[in-house]
């Protein structure tokens, strides 16, 4: 049905008599705005990389103040740490107290005094150092190379230079015999650099510089060494080795030096030959006695 122009304007919301509203062609053809898909989301943009801010270094005076504060906090604990260090037991129970320093090898006189080994000045009698071991008693002490070698009642041999105990060596199966007989004649020097420890079952030789075991000489079967019955003759040490009454007297006397037992065409027991020696056991260039005769010259 076609309405008259007045009715059409009234129906459009105008008043009668108004002209019909004109609609532009572009507005009529404008498409509807598209709505985004409800499940579609745009990817987040990557954040720009920012380097972490560096912390400013503390100023030198602040750093020094912090160290000083830490030291002040630890200062009250120093006496307790020192007491704990003193209370710590040494591996062999050694306690070495140093009073004064001795200058030179012959500036001390070593002696056994009760349960300690003491080194004193030979002129003034001032105490240089004192060496003890927990629960042990020294039997004898020997002064060699400016050091003191001590034999203890438990069969331990120690070397002390006045500043520290340098080495320890244990004598096997000798503690009972030492407690019963004492240590007379057990420590025997073999020249300046070697030490012989004589027990009834064996003679062991150590290097004084580091306590290294150089050679071992066991007693003959049915015999035993007598440490107290030993005599020095030149560079040799003559040891008594009592045997059964039927044994010849030549078997009851043994001569040793720093290379071991002195015998014809000997081979030193584990000791290095000095330079210039042929290795046959003869010659006198090195100061060792001839192996053919020790007590009397060859006839």
Q: Copy the structure tokens of residue 69.
A: 């504060």
Q: Which residue has the higher pLDDT, 192 or 30?
A: 192
Architecture of domain 91-182: Beta Barrel (2.40)
Q: Where are the domains of the chain?
A: 91-182, 184-299
Tens of pLDDT along 58-80? Answer: 555 556 666 777 777 767 766 65
As a whole number of angstroms, the longest Cα–Cα distance in the chain is 175
Cα distance between residue 138 and residue 160, in whole Å: 13
Model's pTM, two decimal places?
0.62
pLDDT of residue 278: 44
Average of per-residue pLDDT across 143-148: 86
Tens of pLDDT along 76-128? Answer: 766 655 544 444 456 789 999 988 876 666 678 899 999 999 999 888 888 99
Q: Which residue has the higher pLDDT, 208 or 69?
A: 208
Cα distance between residue 290 and residue 50, in whole Å: 90
List of E strands, the chain:
94-98, 109-113, 116-120, 127-133, 138-144, 147-152, 156-160, 165-170, 187-190, 194-198, 202-207, 213-218, 226-233, 236-240, 253-257, 260-261
pLDDT of residue 276: 52
Cα distance between residue 153 and residue 171, in whole Å: 11
């Amino acid at each position: 049905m076609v309405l008259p122009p007045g009715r059409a304007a009234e129906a459009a919301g105008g008043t009668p008599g108004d002209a019909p509203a004109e609609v532009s062609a572009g507005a009529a053809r404008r498409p509807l705005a598209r709505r985004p898909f409800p499940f579609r989301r745009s990817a987040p943009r990557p954040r720009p990389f920012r380097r972490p801010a560096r912390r400013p270094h503390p100023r030198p005076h602040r750093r020094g103040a912090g160290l000083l504060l830490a030291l002040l906090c630890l200062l009250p604990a120093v006496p307790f740490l020192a007491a704990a260090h003193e209370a710590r037991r040494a591996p062999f129970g050694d306690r070495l107290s140093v009073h004064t320093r001795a200058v030179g090898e012959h500036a001390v006189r070593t002696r056994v005094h009760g349960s300690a080994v003491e080194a004193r000045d030979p002129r003034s009698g001032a105490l240089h150092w004192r060496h003890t071991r927990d629960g042990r008693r020294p039997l004898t002490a020997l002064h060699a190379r400016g050091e003191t070698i001590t034999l203890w009642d438990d069969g331990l041999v120690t070397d002390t230079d006045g500043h520290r105990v340098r080495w320890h060596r244990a004598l096997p199966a000798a503690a009972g015999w030492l407690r019963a007989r004492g240590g007379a004649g057990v420590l025997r020097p073999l020249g300046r650099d070697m030490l012989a420890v004589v027990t009834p079952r064996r003679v062991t030789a150590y290097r004084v510089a580091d306590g290294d075991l150089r050679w071992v000489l066991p007693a003959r079967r049915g015999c035993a060494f007598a440490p107290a019955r030993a005599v020095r003759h030149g560079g040799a040490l003559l040891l008594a080795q009592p045997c059964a009454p039927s044994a010849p007297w030549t078997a009851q006397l043994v001569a040793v030096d720093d290379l071991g037992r002195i015998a014809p065409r000997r081979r030193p027991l584990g000791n290095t030959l000095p330079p210039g020696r042929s290795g046959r056991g003869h010659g006198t260039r090195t100061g060792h006695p001839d192996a053919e005769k020790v007590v009397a010259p060859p006839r």
